[in-house]
Amino acid sequence: MVYERSNIRRMAGYTWGEQPEDAGTCKLNTNENPYPPAPGVATALKGVDAADLRTYPQPTAAPLRARIAEHHKLATENALVTHGGDEALRLAITTFVEPGSPLGYADPSYSLYPVLAAIQNAPVLPAQYSEDWTLPADFAKRANAAGARLTCLVNPHAPSGRLITTDDCGRLASELDGVLLLDEAYADFIDPALGYDSAALIKAHDNLLILRSFSKGYSLAGLRLGYLIGQEALIEPLLTKTRDSYNIDAISQRLGLAALEDQDHATDTWRRVRAERSRLNDELARRGLACPPSQANFLLAQVPLGAKRKAKALYEALKARGILVRHFDTPRLGDSLRISIGTRAQSQRLLNALDDLLDDVSAAR
Ligand SMILES: Cc1ncc(COP(=O)(O)O)c(C=O)c1O
């Protein structure tokens, strides 16, 4: 006897990146920040008294919510704290997507989007990123024509790292009939010189939600903390209706505050990641592995056609040497490896291995 709903029976679940137990693995596969969280996070963790866990946590994570809002120059009503960015996506889809009507996004994007759509019994918009990782020009028109009430746009894009400007985000929000969720899980790594500031769009757009995560920028992937910001009318149903009661545990609330408090520490890790991103990009290019320009903490390296090993074989050979990167076995991404930005030593280990494994790349170019 099968008890699942029929759409759950038909769907495939999310495939998560490998999480090895072996501390010696060079882990460049799930875009974690290679630097530790702020020292204040460890202090806050040591300060947790088990007796405090006897009672339920503050139901809406109010102090953290207020601090997040202040960080973005918004009011508390404009922010919602979630159990990782993933819960924010699930809540948005549950709240805004009618079962049977499509979720808007362009493929490839974060591979959780179609999984969450399938759970909601919603089809997905058949839109594809162009060769150069730009959105199709008629993207909003197609989303509107299909009746999409929610469109997710990851910016900087995953897995290419390509950024669209604040103005383009605003334009898209104006063009879309439904809600635009800008998934900014990687936005902390954008070069500040580019002046990207999507939060400034919120006042002008009643259909704009912005997702942020503590996982990458604040080195807290293990904690599961994220948030949404947007106009109060968008935040309110998520906060009061679709969210789990007490969705943020007491420890996460305290640690999130400690992480946000130390902006100097966080911004220093972002600066170091940007510097290593630029160096690794150049080193990969020298070896014939071109990457689209990335403003995220990863690079999408295309393995040249004439290379001794194709991307999948390269992924496996690197894994055998204790170096994990991500390979997506799909028509669009099958020739590429997504490489998280690690420390300089981690990049060097990867580059040394590539020198060995691709020893005939330059000859093939
Ligand atoms: C594009 C994108 N959005 C959202 C998330 C969710 O991040 P988390 O749930 O760790 O906050 C991820 C995680 O990898 C991601 O890649």
State yes or no: cis peptide before 36, omega within 30 of 0: no
Among 218, 239, 262, which residue terminates a domain? Answer: 262
Q: Does residue 184 contact residue 198 with C-beta atoms inside 8 Å? A: yes
Residues 285, 138 share a domain: no
Residues 298, 151 share a domain: no
Residues 229, 294 share a domain: no
What is the CATH classification number for the domain harbouring 31?
A: 3.90.1150.10
* Residue 356 CA, ligand 1 centroid: distance in Å: 33
pLDDT in tens, 142-173: 999 999 999 999 999 999 999 999 999 999 99
Cβ–ligand 1 distance for 213 under 6 Å, the answer yes
For residue 327, is it within any domain? Answer: yes
Tokens 């204040």, located at residue: 40
Residues 92, 11 share a domain: no
Return the percentage of the chain with pLDDT > 70, whole number: 98
DSSP secondary-structure letter at 304? P
For residue 1, is it within any domain? Answer: no
From 30, 112, 248, mutation site for ligand 1 pocket: most ligand atoms within 8 A of C-beta: 112
From 18, 33, 68, 86, mutation site for ligand 1 pocket: most ligand atoms within 8 A of C-beta: 86
- Residue 17's nearest CA partner among 112, 102, 152, 124 is 112
Question: Is residue 84 left, alpha or beta, with left meaning phi > 0 and alpha meaning psi from -120 to 50?
Answer: left
Residue bearing the bigger pLDDT, 15 or 360: 15
Q: Does residue 123 contact residue 117 with C-beta atoms inside 8 Å? A: yes
Q: Round to whole Å and give the CA distance between 48 and 154.
A: 35
From 83, 113, 154, 183, mutation site for ligand 1 pocket: most ligand atoms within 8 A of C-beta: 183
- Residue 155's nearest CA partner among 138, 131, 172 is 172
- Residue 22: pLDDT band (50, 70, 90) is confident
State yes or no: cis peptide before 108, omega within 30 of 0: yes
Cβ–ligand 1 distance for 85 under 6 Å, the answer yes
The pTM assigned to this predicted structure is: 0.96
pLDDT, average across residues 260-277: 98
Return the percentage of the chain with pLDDT > 90, whole number: 94
Please provide residue 10's backbone torsions phi and psi, each rounded to the nearest 5 degrees.
-75, -30
- Residue 213's nearest CA partner among 165, 158, 268 is 158
Residues 200, 125 share a domain: yes
Q: Round to whole Å and give the CA distance between 230 and 236.
A: 10
Give the ligand 1 atom nearest the CA of 214. 11
Cβ–ligand 1 distance for 228 under 6 Å, the answer no
Residues 68, 213 share a domain: yes
Residues 231, 150 share a domain: yes
CA-based angle 140:142:145, to the nearest 5?
110
Q: What is the Cα 62 distance to its own chain's centre?
A: 24
Whether 17 has a pLDDT exceeding 70, the answer reads yes
* DSSP output for 222-233: TT--EEEEE-HH
Q: How big, in percent rounded to 5, are the helix, strand and coil portions of the chain?
A: 45, 15, 45
pLDDT in tens, 189-204: 999 999 999 999 999 9
Q: Does residue 30 contact residue 191 with C-beta atoms inside 8 Å? A: no
DSSP secondary-structure letter at 189? G
CA-based angle 73:78:80, to the nearest 5?
115
* Residue 92 CA, ligand 1 centroid: distance in Å: 14
Range of the domain at 272: 6-35+264-364
pLDDT in tens, 217-238: 999 999 999 999 999 999 999 9
* Torsion angle in degrees (nearest 10) through CA of 358, 302, 214, 248: -100
Cβ–ligand 1 distance for 225 under 6 Å, the answer no
> What's the structural domain count of the chain?
2
Q: Does residue 154 contact residue 106 with C-beta atoms inside 8 Å? A: no
